[in-house]
Amino acid sequence: MFKIIQILKAYILLFCLSILTLFINAEIPLGPEGKPDLNGVWQVMNRANYNLEAHSASASLQLVEGPVVPLPHPDILSLGSVGSVPAGLSVVEGGLIPYKKDALRLRNENKKDWLNRDPEIKCYLPGVPRATYMPYAFQIFHSSKAMFFAYEYAGATRNIFLEDPGPAPVDSWMGQSWGFWEGNTFIVKASGFNGQTWLDRSGNHHSEKLRVTEKYTLLNPHLMDYEALIEDEDTYTRPWKIKMKLYKKIGDDAQLQQFKCVEFVEELIYGEWRAK
């Protein structure tokens, strides 16, 4: 009987491995001009929006001194576990962001004053690359003549030029992006940022000299590699990369919901100027 059970277990394992292999090696769907079809709704399954670097679970994103151990800021304390931070692995190649000394000091100051400083709290546009790994889906539309990204958070969008338009005419939250195919990888070069976005909720930041080179590589119909090279000589000692997987939504869930949060923060931003 024991041998029969072991044989059955072996067959089940082989069956599961074969199904997994079929999933991983599924034929990559082709779109316009025979390039990989990136069309669809995509989302990350990581904790990068809390912190790009590895982090332990904690009581809050902003802590204050307590009688024994640090406690959540009073404005977060009543949220309990809802205001806490789940643990996450680093998506930074090499583990840590290579900050210059003054920039690292500013990151730490941002973290200590998260409630007042994080642009996400005020529903400002998320910038690049943060828009990709926020806990909201985004949709890619592309044809042979156009590439367009629509993000659920704050209704953000990116119209990806397919030829280099030159320097951005004005700095902005989402910057200016242009892209091209290199083999089966779609590469996007983004610049022209206003320097006011963050990279996550932990105060990681950049200046207006930020330049981002993104790579989107479809692995199978449901999975895509995402990589971003981040350059900013005013903030970092060298260029650095983040890497993660993007997962395609299917079925009824494969659509963007509306989360235009500007109206939700009017009281927070303008309440003190309300007419008495």
Counting beta carbons within 10 angstroms of the beta carbon of residue 166, is it exposed (0 to 12), middle (13 to 18) or buried (19 or more)?
A: exposed
> Strand 138-142 to strand 176-182: parallel, antiparallel, or no bridges (unpaired)?
unpaired
Tokens, residue 82: 């809802």
On the question of pLDDT at 25 being above 90, the answer is: no
What residues are paired with 139 via a beta bridge? Answer: 41, 150
Q: CATH number of the domain at 199, please.
A: 2.40.128
pLDDT of residue 16: 60
- Among residues 130, 132, 53, which one has the least CA distance to residue 94? 53
Phi then psi for 113, rounded to 5 degrees?
Answer: -120, 40
Question: Per residue in 187-224, is it b (16+ CB within 10 Å) or e — as a string?
Answer: bbbbbbbbbbbbbbbbbbbbeeebbbbbbbbbbebbbb
On the question of pLDDT at 150 being above 80, the answer is: yes
**In which residue are the tokens 């200046």 written?**
207
> What is the pLDDT confidence band of residue 118, given thresholds at 50, 70 and 90?
very high
Instruction: Please report whether residue 240 resides in a domain.
Output: yes
Instruction: Please report whether residue 176 resides in a domain.
Output: yes
Instruction: Please report whether residue 37 resides in a domain.
Output: yes
Instruction: Please report whether residue 12 resides in a domain.
Output: no
Residues 107, 85: Cα–Cα separation, whole Å: 18
Expressed as residue numbers, the domain containing 177 is 32-54+89-248
Residue partners of 257: CB distance under 8 A and separation at least 6 = 137, 152
Residue 152 Cα distances to 25, 126, 187, angstroms: 30, 11, 22
pLDDT tens column, 84-109: 999 999 999 999 999 999 999 999 99
Residue partners of 183: CB distance under 8 A and separation at least 6 = none
Instruction: Please report whether residue 79 resides in a domain.
Output: no
Give SS3 for 36. strand
Residues 135, 22: Cα–Cα separation, whole Å: 29
Instruction: Please report whether residue 212 resides in a domain.
Output: yes
Contact 244, 48 (CB under 8 A): yes
Counting beta carbons within 10 angstroms of the beta carbon of residue 242, is it exposed (0 to 12), middle (13 to 18) or buried (19 or more)?
A: buried
Q: Count the domains in the chain.
A: 1
DSSP H or E segment with residue 157: strand 157-160
Mean pLDDT of the chain: 92
Instruction: Please report whether residue 266 resides in a domain.
Output: no
Residue partners of 157: CB distance under 8 A and separation at least 6 = 148, 149, 150, 151, 174
pLDDT of residue 31: 84
Instruction: Please report whether residue 63 resides in a domain.
Output: no
> What is the pLDDT confidence band of residue 274, given thresholds at 50, 70 and 90?
confident
What would the mean pLDDT of 107-118 be, rounded to a whole number?
A: 96
On the question of pLDDT at 276 being above 80, the answer is: no
Tokens, residue 223: 């999975």
Q: What is the DSSP string of 158-186?
A: EEEBSS---S-SS-BSS-EEEEEEETTEE
